[in-house]
Amino acid sequence: MTTYAPGIKEFVDRCNAAMPPDFYTYALQEQRRLYQNLTIEFPYELPDDVSWYQQNLEYDGNSLAFRLYEPHHLESDGLVIYIRGGGFVVGSLDTHHTVTAEIASKAAVKVMAVDFRLAPEHPFPSALEDCYNAVVYAKENASTLGIDPNNIVIAGDSSGGNMAVVIAMMCRDRNGPKLSGQALISPVLDFTRWRNGGDDAPLLTGGEMEFYTACYAPKASTVSHPYVSPLVSGRFDNLPMAYIMSAEKDSLAIDAKQYAKLLREHEVDVELVIEPGLVHSAIRARALSEGVQDAWDRYCLKIRAMLARKEA
């Protein structure tokens, strides 16, 4: 019998009722509608101390919407660029609207969220290039955004955590913006183990992961690419410090542990926390579970500390 932290069984049951475990077999439009409706099932208010606006950035003929969140009290002139999860297939700026706003409030820093292109209509590397170019845009437009171009933390959950890790590698490989840190929540970093399905976990089945893998990296030769599955063929030297929040009941905890191990072996400052009794996507349960709320608060404070360390 699975032992959950208090509040998590209710969260899992409500998620499965709102978005059945086999949702990935539905038509894409229905998948995206169900995922969007999780914001109704688990509603959160925008923090009173955060303002935001939305506009577009342009690169290579692409136009991407982004939102910039600003707390009324800033403790850093840095920037967090948060990349949402959703398997590269579902999700929008709205599905993570309060998540990004809460980071701005709790970390007392501006936060950018980017509306990247979705798979399978736009497979690898479309979303990745969108998010990397958002980092470049932030650095090049730092004065307009009112941020320090040399104090940017990249952050993300699940598939967004994948892109956050890879963007840190791309910044190194392309001599791009120098990042102050990477703040990750349950990143998926090895898609080779999901190519033909895999083990089920609460709120993340092997079939779902197989579907996402096929959507994002439809060519078998692409799945092991270092920018898709960095644990398989990536380089781990000269990366920014990392804070990794994972969950005990999450099948992606394996990825978090391996990534932390490889970073340490390459003398990168890393802190890994496997939150007891939590599941994948648990940040939606922060109003239901004190364990999630505590983990979330610590995550946001670690981001604040990363930015302060850069400024010290």
Instruction: Show which residues are catalytic.
Output: 158, 250, 280
The whole-angstrom separation of Cα 301 and Cα 4 is 25
Q: What's the rounded Cα separation, in Å, for the pair 228 and 197?
A: 17
- Which ranges constitute the DSSP H helices of the chain? 8-18, 28-41, 97-107, 126-140, 142-145, 159-173, 206-216, 220-223, 230-233, 253-265, 290-311
At 134, is the secondary structure helix, strand, or coil? Answer: helix
Left if phi > 0, otherwise alpha if psi is -120 to 50, otherwise beta: which for 283?
A: alpha
Residue 138 in tokens: 């932030």
- Cα 13 from Cα 203, distance rounded (Å): 9
**Exposed/middle/buried for 143, CB within 10 Å: 0-12, 13-18, 19+?**
exposed
What are the residues whose beta carbons fall under 8 Å from the beta carbon of 84, sequence distance 6 or more? 91, 93, 95, 96, 99, 100, 113, 156, 157, 160
Closest CA to 191 of 246, 131, 255: 255
Closest CA to 111 of 143, 156, 163: 156
CA 192 to chain centre: 20
Cα separation, 252 vs 171, whole angstroms: 24
